[in-house]
Amino acid sequence: MIRDRGRIKWTSMMLPEHVKLLRDWAKEDMYENKMEPDEQQLEVMNEVMAEAMEFGKSVAITYYRGRRYQIVIGTIHYWDEIAKKLHVVDRFDEVHQIEISNIADVRFADDSAR
- Where are the chain's structural domains? 39-113
Q: Strands across the sheet with 85-90, in order?
A: 95-99, 85-90, 68-80, 58-65, 103-108
pTM for this one? 0.72
* Right CATH for 39-113 from 2.30.30.100, 3.40.50.920, 2.20.28.160, 3.10.400.10: 2.30.30.100
Give the three-class secondary structure for 68.
strand
Q: What is the pLDDT of residue 86?
A: 94
Q: State the pLDDT confidence band at 58, using cuts at 50, 70 and 90.
A: very high
Nearest to 52 by CA among 114, 109, 112: 109
Q: State the pLDDT confidence band at 111, using cuts at 50, 70 and 90.
A: low
Bridge partners, residue 108, by sequence? 59
As a whole-number percent, the residues of the chain with pLDDT over 90 amount to: 60
Looking at the predicted structure, is the pLDDT value of residue 66 above 60? Answer: yes
